[in-house]
A = this chain, B = another copy of it.
Amino acid sequence: MHPKPGLTCEWPITNFFGMAPTSTIRQTAEQRREAVLRAAMIEFAQGGLDGTSTQTIAARAGISQPYLFRLFPNKKALFIEAIQTANQQIVAKFEAAAGTTSGQDALTAMAVAYTELIADRTFLLLSLHGFASCGDEEVRAACRRCFRDVWYTIERLSGLDPDTVRQFYATGMLCNVITAMQLDDVDERWAKLARPGDPRESKPEGK
């Protein structure tokens, strides 16, 4: 059942519960927490909050399902931490990409960074599932914080006006759904047109 062998040892020594003993390889709770968080990001990105079981996440992280609840208070808290972590990485990537540039140059650099994020899919799908689960109050609050942080990051790094920032953000949201629908696998006219072109050869304003 466990997808990550080598963690539980093979010899079937039976103890009180008749269970196989754990391997001698132990990690700190902090290491496990990070492993669970990584696993959660991948799994939640695919199935969302309600469509992903804690068992699935625990299995990917290589721990038992109950231990997950020692590391995180509940499933929703893990979900929220996952989307926040993903968001922080997006912000960090934007800052690294923009560097010391500003204005349209910074915007283009961030657009390039975003297309690199798309390659992973995890980040975009995760934020999409965050928005979709905004029916929940705590998730909604977290999504608002994430949105705000990204907004101010774009604004601060580029120094451009709200209309431009909004348009940039909107394009990002379009990228989200294009990624979700896997439109790069669709070889039809509308699908190709919907995908934004390479940001490095785009025109700043209008045609």
A residues adjacent to B (C-beta < 8 A): 46-51, 125, 128-129, 131-135, 140, 143-144, 147-148, 151-152, 162-163, 165-167, 169-171, 173-174, 176-177, 180-183, 186, 188, 190-191, 193-194, 196, 205-207
Partner of A167 from B132, B133, B144, B170 at Cβ < 8 Å:
B170
**Chain A contact surface mostly:** helix
CB pairs A–B below 8 angstroms (10 shown): A47-B50, A128-B128, A131-B180, A134-B181, A143-B177, A144-B181, A147-B183, A163-B207, A170-B170, A170-B174
Q: Which of A180, A188, A191 counts the most B-chain CB atoms under 10 A from its CB?
A: A180
User: A149 to nearest B CB, angstroms?
Assistant: 9
B residues near A135, Cβ cutoff 8 Å: 46-48, 51, 125
- Decide: A190 and B152 in contact? CB cutoff 8 A: yes
> Which listed residue (B46, B143, B147, B174) contacts A166, Cβ 8 A?
B174
Residues from chain B with a CB closer than 8 A to the CB of A152 are 190
User: When the two chains form their complex, are residues B132 and A48 in contact, meaning their CB atoms are under 8 A apart?
Assistant: yes
B residues near A174, Cβ cutoff 8 Å: 166, 169-170, 173
Docked Cα-Cα span, A50 to B51, in Å, equals 6
- Cross-chain contact B133 with A181 (CB below 8 angstroms): no
7 tightest A-B CB contacts, nearest first: A132-B132, A50-B50, A205-B206, A170-B174, A173-B173, A170-B170, A50-B51
Specify which chain B residues have a CB less than 8 angstroms from the CB of A144 in the assembled complex: 181, 183, 186, 191
Residues on B with C-beta less than 8 A from A147 are 177, 181, 183, 190, 194
Choose from B148, B180, B196 the contact partner of A132 (Cβ within 8 Å): B180
Closest to A47 in B: B135
Question: How many Å from the CB of A135 to the closest CB on chain B?
Answer: 5
CB-based nearest B residue for A135: B46
Bound complex: CA of A135 vs CA of B163, how far in Å? 32
Q: A131 to chain B: closest CB distance in Å?
A: 5
